[in-house]
Structure formats: structure tokens, C-alpha cells
Amino acid sequence: MSDLRLAARTERIAPFQVMELVKRAVLLEQQGRPVIHLSIGEPDFTAPEPVVAALERAARAGRTQYTSATGLPALREAISRDYRERYGVDVDPARIVVTAGASAALSLACCALVDVGDEVLVTDPSYPCNRHFVAAFDGVARTVPVGADTRFQMTEALLAAHWGPKVRGALLASPANPTGTSIPFDELGRIVAAARARGGFTIVDEIYLGLSYEGRARTALELGDDVVVVNSFSKYFHMTGWRLGWLVVPPSTAATFEKLSQNLYICASTLAQHAALGCFEPDALAEFERRREAFRERRDYIVPAMRALGFGVPVMPDGAFYAWLDCSRFGDSGALASRLLEEASVSLVPGHDFGANDPGRWIRLSYATERAKLEEAVRRIGRCLAV
């Protein structure tokens, strides 16, 4: 029997290496090794009581039928209200599309905006799946190398320098994975204006916006209703496995996004949507803010601690729960990650997952775990590296 021929696009999508590393860490745990996970970007907090209670009420009431493709009206209204109360921005609920996580939101955005052969500017380093969302719809992710001088973020000057005849738009993240850094809001405004002047789109991934630590967080929705914004209940709201996110789309495109969602996804999980209504209850919002402060405290511990061990942290992360470490003192990041996992039972992610911009120099640390484990990880790493 002959092998099934796969579509050519599958060759353009690389494996998600962090998940392979996590599988190895889990295997070591099954063998009795006490691994400390500083790899996967998942909060150690879970959904608070108001969310669980909302889920139970919906399940017991039998509210499990399909919703509209754009989501429960009550949830879209709650998201709209949160934008107004938290960020001072009025967003028509008709522009909000509830999705099966931010991954589905990004897929929908690329499906709607990227034609075959279109190029989309993304930074290097960046979240690896962003490149693959573009490739999945036969576009080309054109990477823009970024460094500490731009906070590992896009700038207007970089966008202008890399914009070519096939470029259709830019896919940005602020705060970003893997660096934990944000685009200064004035610079983001210049980027959006530059893309707009060239007839292009801007998609801004804001899934970590609620986990911003320096000053008042601002959403790209301030910059015009032509900006496409992605968000999620996974990170700030601690609902990773519930698979729930949303898009805010330009008014003129809402019907198209609804059509695509109807055909590709039917709707996001109905029970997860009902549960997410609990996120906006006062007790839940207060808990999310307490947890945000816990993440800030972890950052304020782990960054100086890693610097003391000899890792470079050229830019202090101002959001998310990642630190982008210069590990060049200790050799290639891939070899170092393997060594730390095997010898110290600490799991970090080498830079190779996030792009081709000197990846052997960089390693990502996720501080989405409790302080005591962070302290133990620092001790183990210090012993392993004899520093």
C-alpha cells in the first residue's frame, strides 16, 4: 500500500519543539525525576470559583447547544464592557468574534486576510505558531530580525525597511512571547499608520495584555477600527485548556468573519463560553489582579537571580511571564536546555523554536510557576553550571 500524499504546505510547517521538550520532561517525571517546568507558557493558576460555578450552572441547566458562530451575545457584551471599563475603548459587540482559543482567532484572521503568496511581516524571535498560521493559508511569513535595541519588537523603521511588493500586512504581539516585552504605544501607532499607508493590515496579538506590569496597559483598538486584535481567556483569565478566545475585527469585515467561523468551527465550546461569563464578576476580576501581582513578584525575583548566575537579560520583560535569556556564556541553547533537563531536572526552551535570529544564543524561561519552585530551580541551575 502506498503512502498517502500530503499537501505541500505541511512541509512548510515545522514541529513545535517546546512540546517535544515537554514530552521529554513528562517522561522523566514518570521515571520519578522531580522536574521543575519553566518551559511551557501556561499559568499555574486555574480558573477561579466564579468561573467554575458558572460552568456548573450551565451544565446542570443543559446549556450545551451550539451558539451563534460569533459567540454568546452575553459574552460578547461582557468583553465589550471590559474594554470600556479597563481600557476606556468603546467596542461594538458586533465586532467581537468568540473563538476556540487565540489559535482559532489567528487562523481566522489569516484565512480572511492572506492570499496565496502574500507575505506577512513577523518578528524574529516570535511565537512560532504565528509563522505557521500564515503558512497554513499559503502565505509567507517574512521574518524581521529584532534585538535588544528595539526591545525585540517591530518598529516603524523596520517595517518600512522590510515592506516589499508582496507584503500584505504585519502580525505583531504585545506583550510578546518569547521575550515578555511590549511595543511602546507611540511606536505601535506609527507601525499601524505605516501599514495603513501602504494599504496593508495590522493584526495585534494581545493575549498577554492583561499581564502588563509597567504603567497603564493600552489596547491597539485605540488606533482605529481597521486594526484586528486577538485576545484569549488562556493567560490573564487562566483558562488554557478551556480553549476560548476572541477577535475584534473591522466593522466592514464582521459578516465575512462570521461566515468563515460558521464553516470552519461552527462555534466555540458553549460550556466554556457560559463559564467565561464568570470571569467578569467582581470577585473574579479582583482575583485576577492579585494573580497579576504574583506574576510581577516572580519576575522581580527571577530576572535578577538569573543575571546573578551569569545569564544576560538585556531587556527587562514588562508583560506576560517570560524572560528571554542570553545563555551564550554557557554554550548553545539547545545543548544547554538538554543538559539542564537531564542533569538538573529543570526544563527551559532553547531559542531555536522562535526563529533563526541567532537562536543558539537565547533560551526562554517561563516564570508561570510558584516562587518556591523558581527558587529551587535557581539553586539547581547554579549547581549544574557550577556558578
Q: What is the CATH number of domain 49-281?
A: 3.40.640.10
Q: Which run of H or E residues covers position 243? A: none
Residue pLDDT tens, the chain, 387 long: 567 888 888 887 777 777 777 788 888 888 888 999 999 889 999 999 999 999 999 999 999 999 999 999 999 999 999 999 999 999 999 999 999 999 999 999 999 999 999 999 999 999 999 999 999 999 999 999 999 999 999 999 999 999 999 999 999 999 999 999 999 999 999 999 999 999 999 999 999 999 999 989 999 999 999 999 999 999 999 999 999 999 999 999 999 999 999 999 999 999 999 999 999 999 999 999 999 999 999 999 999 999 999 999 999 999 999 999 999 999 999 999 999 999 999 999 999 989 999 999 999 999 999 999 999 999 999 999 987
SS3 state at 98: strand
- Name the one residue in this structure whose C-alpha cell is 491597539: 220
Q: For residue 315, give the C-alpha cell.
A: 531587556
- Let me know: does 246 contact 93? Beta carbons within 8 Å: no
In the structure grid, which three cell numbers stand for residue 296, read together? 510581577
Peptide bond into 178 cis (omega under 30): yes
In the chain, CATH 3.90.1150.10 sits at 8-46+284-385
Q: 101-113 and 128-136 helices cross at what angle (nearest 10)?
A: 40
Cross-sheet strand order for the sheet of 349-350? 322-326, 362-366, 349-350
- Alpha-helix runs per DSSP H in 114-230: 128-136, 156-162, 185-197
Residue 204 is placed in which grid cell? 495585534
CATH code 3.40.640.10 region(s) in the chain: 49-281
**Which ranges in the chain belong to alpha helices (H)?**
17-30, 49-60, 73-82, 101-113, 128-136, 156-162, 185-197, 254-264, 270-276, 282-309, 333-339, 371-385
The residue among 189, 258, 259 whose CA lies nearest residue 226 is 189
Closest CA to 171 of 215, 139, 213: 139
Helix (H) or strand (E) holding 168: strand 167-173
Bridging pattern class, strands 322-326 and 362-366: antiparallel
| Helix (H/G/I), strand (E/B), else coil: 140 | strand
Instruction: Provide the pLDDT for residue 2.
Output: 66
Contact 313/324 with Cβ under 8 angstroms?
yes
- Contact partners, residue 3, CB within 8 Å, separation at least 6: none
HSE on the CB side for 312, CA within 13 Å?
A: 12
Task: Give 8-46+284-385's CATH code, choosing from 3.10.180.10, 3.40.50.20, 3.65.10.10, 3.90.1150.10.
Answer: 3.90.1150.10
